[in-house]
Amino acid sequence: MKQLIKITVILLAAVTGILRAESAWSLASVAVSPTSKSITTTASTVFLTWSVVEFPSPAPSTVSSPQGTYTTLGGTVLGTVSIPLSGIATVAPTTLNFPETITVPTSVITAAATAGASQILYKRTFTGTSPVESETASITLDTTTIGRIRVIPASATVIPSMTTTIPVSWEVDVTSGAPVSIVSNGGKFVTPSGSSLGIGAPTVLSTTATIRTRLSESLSVPNSVVISALRRGLKQFRYQRIFLIDGTEYEAFLTLDIKGMLTKVDANPAQLQVATGRSANITVRWTGQLAGTIGGAITVSSSGGSFTTSSGMRLGSFSRNLSRPVTGSSVSFNETIQVPRDVIYRAQKLGNARFLLTRDFTDGFTTATGTVALNITGGSGGVFTINRIDLMFPDRQRLRVVDRGERVKVIADITYGGSGLLSANWEIATTATSGGALIFQSLRLVRKYLSGFGRVELESPQLPVPTAGQYVVRLRINSPALQGDIPYIRYFVTERHPRTQKKVRILAPAENVLLAAGVRFAWAPVPGAAYIQIEVYPKQSAKPGSDKLVAGLAVPASQREVAFTRLAQDRLVPGRDYRWRTIAINKAGEVVATSGFRKIKTP
């Protein structure tokens, strides 16, 4: 019996040791209720209960938490709560409940927003004393996020002299777990730097929201505000609103661009006549039309004008400032302008019977152009002028290389003004003189009556091609007097068989290239050459080089490449195969080098 009692005591001691060993865990768990809560700066009070499960051993255990801590999810400390919580656990297990009421400071919420955090952790660490052990729990606090305030539209246009009404929406990008108050007590008109231009409509905009929302208004921009901006020299200003969102102020604004009132400029008279051969003085009244009536806040001005062709090519200009404050719905200027003789001449030389006088006027915001059409007449006393002569071959080229016996003619494209009898001579300088001082011989006298304004083409007689060499052709005007130099054109008569074995090295195009747009012919320099000619022959030939030339193009030897002109290419039949080569000609008209033939196709 004594032995049994002894064994029982030993077993009880062992069990007691095991229980005491298990109770060494002390704190079993710490939890908080609720585990999450939405807060705003105006609703930031939260009621909490911390629950701690304790196994005290061997004596009563004190469980305490000296303070609570606000942090971001990443661990950045935002603030603390220095209120201790404590209790005593006397039996195992013991559940201790610690109620706590916290009010999250605005500074903590702001710090979280500055850190880009939309959630805040409030946590406490509880420690037991028997034995010493700690556990931590936390509650997640969801805050309000304000992304931005977007104004729709972002900008609008206002016009002086009238009140402009603009529908405006303010879109607030808000995210909150609880309704957030959004209030704006009115807007105001300000300069871009923030100076006040006047109070806007005192319309109060307010709502509560948890997600993105819009507040709308019909904005009236008084004319007095626009005039105030104009008098400060502004071209735009702002309509600004301050929104109080969850206790924090946010600014947003609508940009208002001032549209000029100048809508158009009329010229009276709208067209005038100017005579060739002399300058002309014309008087014009410019009248600027405005969108409304205004007094003194806008000045319309113009610094000068221009003479242009109808296509916009500039012929000349003049500088004279016109400026006047607007006192009504229109503003007018009278001026006398001199149209220079050389401007009229340049217009005629370009083949124009009419050109334009233009003036740009501005009110500081918009620009309007006034235009007067100037019609060129022959002038008083029947003034008759030749304004331009352009010489070319029938294929519109200005250089030709021909074989002996080939037919050659030249076309004179003449622009004239007024009415009268044209007297001119077709003349040629032959091989013997064209290399040095040009001595011209007459080929034919031309007499033709011209009237009005326009262009006329005159054809030369058949030109001589007796021997190889260079020939120079011109149309010398006898009357009326020609303003400027007499133009001339050259052609070369060549021998088809070169006296030399020099070769022209072709660089492009390659063999069998399709002669499409953009294909360029290129060659290496040829010493002693004055001109280069591209020659195109039919594909079939019993003897290369014996076929008749079907198309060609000549250029100065200083040029290293050329593209076929449209007129030259039109002489080729589509879908055919051809052969082409390059020849080099000296100033005497002798062929000094040739290339081999290459194949080419037409599209």
Evaluate whether residue 435 is within a structural domain.
yes
Q: In angstroms, how far is the first alpha carbon of the chain from the final one?
A: 128
Task: Report the percent of the chain where pLDDT is more than 90.
Answer: 31
Tell me whether residue 38 is in a domain: yes
Q: Examine residue 8 and state whether it is found in any structural domain, yes or no.
A: no
- Using the predicted structure, report yes or no on whether residue 327 has a pLDDT greater than 90: no
Lowest mean pLDDT among 56-65, 433-442, 507-516: 433-442
**Confidence bin at 500 (pLDDT 50/70/90):** low
The arithmetic mean of pLDDT across residues 530-554, rounded, is 72
pLDDT, tens only, 149-205:
899 999 998 887 778 899 999 999 887 767 888 999 989 999 999 899 877 778 899
Please tell me the distance from the alpha carbon of residue 81 to that of residue 326, in angstroms, as a whole number.
69
CA distances from 416 to 348, 351, 393, 398 (A): 7, 8, 21, 21
pLDDT in tens, 386-400: 878 999 988 887 778
Among the listed ranges 92-101, 294-303, 449-458, 496-505, which one has the minimum average pLDDT value?
A: 496-505
pTM assigned to the model: 0.41
pLDDT level of residue 121 (50, 70, 90 thresholds): very high
pLDDT for the residue numbered 537: 83
More confident residue, 230 or 332: 332
DSSP 596: P
Q: How far apart are CA 465 and CA 430, in angstroms?
A: 9
Q: Are residues 268 and 190 in the same domain?
A: no
Q: How confident is the model at residue 547 (pLDDT cuts 50, 70, 90)?
A: low
Kindly state the average pLDDT of the residues 532-538.
85
DSSP string covering 454-503:
EEEEEE--PPP--SSEEEEEEEEEEESPBSSPPPEEEEEEE-SS-SS--B
Residues 362 and 390 in one domain: no
| Confidence label for 497 from pLDDT (cuts 50, 70 and 90) | low
pLDDT given at position 444: 92
CATH code of the domain in which 87 resides: 2.60.40
Last-in-domain residue among 224, 258, 292: 258
Local confidence band at 23 (pLDDT 50, 70, 90 cut-offs):
very low
Q: What is the CATH number of the domain that holds 522?
A: 2.60.40.10
DSSP annotation of 177 reads S
Do 251 and 268 lie in one domain? The reply is no
Kindly report, residue by residue over 27-72, the tens digit of the pLDDT: 778 999 999 988 877 678 999 999 998 776 666 788 899 999 999 9
pLDDT score of 1 more than 60: no
With a CB cutoff of 8 Å and minimum separation 6, the contacts of 302 are: 286, 321, 322, 323, 333, 359, 360, 361, 362
More confident residue, 401 or 542: 401
Task: Provide mean pLDDT across the span 523-528.
Answer: 89
Distances (CA, A) of 564 to 47, 146, 285, 556, 579: 91, 68, 51, 15, 14
User: Can you spell out the DSSP letters for 248-299?
Assistant: EEEEEEEEEEEPPSEEEEEEESSEEEEETTS-EEEEEEEEEEESS---SS-E
Could you tell me if 572 and 550 are in contact, meaning their C-beta atoms sit under 8 angstroms apart? yes
Share of the chain above pLDDT 70, in %: 86
Counting the structural domains of the chain, the total is 5
Whether 323 and 297 share a structural domain: yes
Q: Confidence class of residue 10 from pLDDT cuts 50, 70 and 90?
A: very low
Mean pLDDT of the chain: 82
Q: In 3D, which of 157, 158, 26, 175 has the Cα closest to residue 89?
A: 26
Q: How many CA atoms lie within 13 A of 564 on its CB side?
A: 22
Whole-angstrom distance, CA of residue 150 vs CA of residue 209: 16
| Residue 505: DSSP 8-state | P
Q: What is the predicted pLDDT for the residue at 22?
A: 42
Are 398 and 438 found together in one domain? yes
The domain boundary, picked from 350, 377, 404, lies at 377
